[in-house]
Structure 1
């Protein structure tokens, strides 16, 4: 698997880059043609810790994990383990033969940070491409990238809908009237 490592307010050393490549190469065993895939790794300083985010778009889904730790190497270990658990946990659903639609949705990732005082503002904007998928596939995608919600185009109706995690452990669905 190819790895692209970016640093935000952090200098990415060769040792750090090699460590990322070594840890993520352990995921290659789960993919037939691992050379076709590229892991996008962002390491950023979030005082006092280092936050590591890994996104791996594969044929039908997007794998995503993030972890923070004072030591960036420890955060990389945690992210690698988290991705491996996601793959093992969802392996059956990811390889489901009845899944004829491509599950390639891009999720919105809103990171809002409180400014000093009580003023909040939009600090990140993201454009997304919505691909048709079932509600079940949208829930799987949301869980794989570890988000609280996921926006998608319903394959049956063509409507834009949002699935979200409820506090009772179930899921909700929001759609336009």
Structure 2
């Protein structure tokens, strides 16, 4: 299993890299098919956020759903421990869900990599495609003369049920998840409300000027 450690606006020492490798060695026990774990370390320079100045994000990529967890603390070693606790819990849930699907003879939902833009820190600049033609393409532009930066990214829509979308959202630790509703074939978004309640918004793609739903799936 490959482990890739990168820093955003911060240097990552060899000592921390070795610590990460030791900590993540047991990931394969919960995710035996994991091919890669991405570890992203972000440093927040604002002194008012000293208690959460170090953020660590862990992303497990395998044949199944992408599973992600992140945490922040006053040092990156503590943030790693907190993020790893969250990751292990989500890996256990994913493993138990696969077992349940095998018992019921259902297929595992195909993987979707969903990563909303996080404006808290900028990655090192990389060449971006001018247009969004293929899944994974991304483009950034400023809103007029303002400092607002807008990032657009194209993802491949996967038909799934609302229950599957909620489960996928929980596995990546986000507050919303975009998908194609399997029953209606319409673009939809499930989002977190208060407590253990969720909301679903479906998009009417039949309005004038909209692309056919078949082009979105």
The TM-score normalised by the length of structure 1 is 0.85
Matches within 5 A, 1:110-129: 110-113=117-120, 121-129=148-156
Indicate the RMSD between aligned Cα atoms, in angstroms: 2.1
Task: Determine the C-alpha separation between the residues in 1 that align with 2:25 and 2:175.
Answer: 28
Among candidates 28, 49, 54, match of residue 50 of structure 1: 54
Contact kept in structure 2, 1:53 and 1:79, CA below 8 Å: yes
Q: Among 174, 192, 196, which residue is 1:147 paired with?
A: 174
- Which residue matches 2:138? none
Length-normalised TM-score, structure 2: 0.70
Partner secondary structure for residue 130 of structure 1: coil
- Over residues 46-104 of structure 1, what are the superposed CA-to-partner deviations in whole Å (9 max), with x where a residue is unaligned? 13311111111222211100111121111111111111112224432243224425332
Higher relative contact order (CA 8 A, sep 6+): 1
1:17 deviates by: 1.1
Q: Can you give the 5+ residue segments of structure 1 that lack an aligned partner in the other structure?
A: 114-118
Distance 1:151 1:99 in 2: 22
Partner of 1:39: 37
Structure 2 unaligned blocks of 5 or more = 121-145, 205-217
Asked which structure has the greater CA Rg, the reply is 2
What is the number of residues matched between the two proteins? 170
User: Is 1:11 the counterpart of 2:11 in the alignment?
Assistant: yes
SS of the residue corresponding to residue 10 of structure 1 reads: coil
Residue 112 (structure 2) aligns with: 105
1:165 matched residue in structure 2: 192
- Which stretch of the first structure deviates more once superposed, 124-133 or 38-47? 124-133
